[in-house]
Amino acid sequence: MTIKNIQGLRAVAALLVVFVHLGNPNGFEHRYLANPHPFTEALARIGYLGVDLFFLISGFIMVVTTFRAKEKKLSSINFLKRRIIRIYPPLWIINTFVLAVFLLKPSLVNSHSAVPTNIWASYLLLPQAGNALVLVAWTLVYEMFFYLVFALGLLGGLRTLTLTLIAWVSLLALANRINPDPQNIYVAFLQNPIVSEFILGAAIGIMSRKSFPSWFAMTSFLAGLIGSLIVAIPLALGSRGFPEGWTRVESAIPLAGILLGLVLLERRFGAWTPRYVQRLGDASYSLYLWHIPTLTLMGIILHGAHLHTPLAQVLGLLLTMTAVIAVAMVVYRCLELPLTNWLRVRCG
């Protein structure tokens, strides 16, 4: 069963991440256009919340797709097999494409990073000190970590999974209290509080299995929306830096309210999300993986076109966003979806 409002949220999360790489100081507009606009810079600062939203949605989806009926679940092995099929093959394709570009012209791949890219870690989704071949793949390293712990919890029923997640977040808090500034990259990875956003999303998934009145659903959605605006507006205005550590997790709590509210409201009143936004949500993984190479290609094209007037730059940005979405939809329809379906049939 597809929850249509969640597909819409996935589209929003992916677009937020695109905005980061469109308007940040190392991004598309600053590198390729003449006059970066404060509006795109503001969007870039808000866009960092897209990763938090993705993590919440991922935790939620793992629960609702694994426990489709009461106490009916996938085995741990089948769960991991499905997640590996879903994550790795599309990543390996874009990794190979970016690696070829990197070997031909290294300046086009992670040129702002002082630490060399570890190619093997990029393919295997292991922690590394530098950036992965595909810059956004650092989030997938945390995804796979979450899936491993989630699979451990699946050795029992839903109650065992719940206890596993509670124990995990408790250990995270204790580790950060004992060692608040780890220097080893693996230790820092293991105790990064950001993984608790997956756990929060999973908690929303567990809650959504219960029945709630309409007023609770609407209250959750509106409170989450107001709370998200309280977090996002100072970010957009540049009056606060982006939160890190547990502060970042706290900033994601309003997003969790939106998530829960939309799920419960769809159950009561049907989906609010337009069909075209749902389709973009279907393609959100392709959008996530392919938007930086598309931005780079469009940047090279537009830089050569010498867009100096404000109107020309606006048209260039619109054309670029159109290309990003179009590439994602084509990759999803022609590559990601058929490849994933084929592998699921072949691998069981």
One pLDDT digit (tens) per residue for the chain, 348 residues: 578 999 999 999 999 999 999 988 888 888 888 777 788 899 999 999 999 999 999 999 999 988 865 445 568 888 999 999 999 999 999 999 999 999 998 888 877 777 888 999 999 999 999 899 999 999 999 999 999 999 999 888 888 899 999 999 999 999 999 998 899 999 999 999 999 999 999 999 999 888 899 999 999 999 999 999 999 999 999 888 888 889 999 999 999 999 999 999 998 888 888 999 999 999 999 999 999 999 999 998 887 777 777 788 888 899 999 999 999 999 999 999 999 999 999 886
Taking each helix axis from N to C end, the angle separating 76-104 and 337-347, rounded to the nearest 10 degrees, works out to 140
Nearest residue to 324 via CA among 5, 8, 17? 17
Nearest residue to 1 via CA among 211, 221, 266, 269? 266
pLDDT (0 to 100) of residue 286: 97
Q: Can you read off the two tokens belonging to residue 323?
A: 């290309």
3-state secondary structure of 2: coil
Q: Can you read off the two tokens belonging to residue 284?
A: 């959100």
Contact assessment for residue 193 and residue 171, using Cβ atoms and an 8 Å cutoff: no
pLDDT (0 to 100) of residue 73: 58
Contact assessment for residue 193 and residue 251, using Cβ atoms and an 8 Å cutoff: no
3-state secondary structure of 181: coil
In the chain, the N- to C-terminal Cα span, in Å, equals 20
pLDDT (0 to 100) of residue 71: 46
Residue 71, number of CB atoms within 10 A of its CB = 8
Q: Can you read off the two tokens belonging to residue 112?
A: 């702002």
pLDDT (0 to 100) of residue 328: 97
Contact assessment for residue 262 and residue 272, using Cβ atoms and an 8 Å cutoff: yes
pLDDT (0 to 100) of residue 3: 87
Q: How far apart are CA 287 and CA 22, in angstroms?
A: 14
Q: Give the number of C-alpha atoms closer than 13 A to the C-alpha of residue 97, restricted to the C-beta side.
A: 13
pLDDT (0 to 100) of residue 74: 67
